[in-house]
Copies of this chain bind each other. A is one copy, B any other.
């Protein structure tokens, strides 16, 4: 079922020859960061992750070097947050074009510095090379302090589905960059949910960050756990208001803020019914507000109240579309709008029956 997704299948192919370390606690796809027991005579755990910023730069989505530096840190810190680890630091590998201006390098480094500051963490080291295009790779290390880590595995039908914040700003930012007017620019500077995630071990049954957008995240959780998700009726209230305003100004259905693959770097997590009060208490103590999105269901399908109905989303198709358009953003948006059109048609036929 995982392999119905082009990206999963490709990763499977890439890694099929590799052996797993006996000291590694997670299997492939099972958590946002790798969980390793570093010392044989101790049960302490580390989290380790790597993520590069490549296509976002090449496609022109990230143009400000400060944002590029910021995101290099945040995408990796977000993976640490998703396993409940506290960051120890990050290594940054940079490929700089030979003609990259000095002031842009300074802004890039400032973005890295500011993001580390915002996360209370440090650049531990790195590597620099010169190449044809700007590419940044982070590799972050974290400590799992209570010897319990969060993973993508464990949600059960009946659990509540939550987010650490409102949704949609990642895709709204992409929309404003690619199809927007100058005045409609969306501020995008996500902060990894490291402190929020410290409330989750022992409370959340599964957790994953929305680095690829909400629907891709839920689709992956669905395939890994063989469960489904249904959104509550008021899901639109859980969208970031500026993002919703942008879609409505552009005549784009707001649910596509969940469907696009440019994420908001919130954590999506599930909580068993009997733990929901504990979550709320713990979050209140830590000064944050979990956003309730819906519920985990038995049947492995994802349902969203849309056009007066409970619509079954073809999330596999939505995810694979991103892989199939080869970076053609116009085509990507057109494909998503076609999927919306089909849903709308289906809904009106259903009503008229």
Contacts and interface: CB of A to CB of B under 8 A. Distances in A.
Interface of A: 10-11, 13-15, 17-21, 23-24, 33-34, 36, 38-39, 42, 44, 46, 48-52, 54-55, 58, 88-89, 91-95, 98, 105, 109-110, 112-113, 116, 121-133, 135, 137, 139, 141, 143, 326-327
B38 A130 contact: no
Copies in the complex: 2
A139 B50 contact: yes
Contacts of A17: 109-110, 113
B50 A91 contact: yes
A83 to B, nearest CB: 12
B127 A50 contact: yes
Given A24-B124, A93-B137, 16 more contacts: A19-B116, A20-B122, A23-B88, A36-B124, A38-B38, A46-B46, A48-B141, A50-B92, A50-B125, A50-B127, A54-B130, A58-B132, A93-B139, A131-B135, A133-B133, A135-B135
Given A58-B132, A109-B14, A49 B122 contact: no
Given A14-B109, A42-B44, A34 B124 contact: yes
A55 B131 CA distance: 7
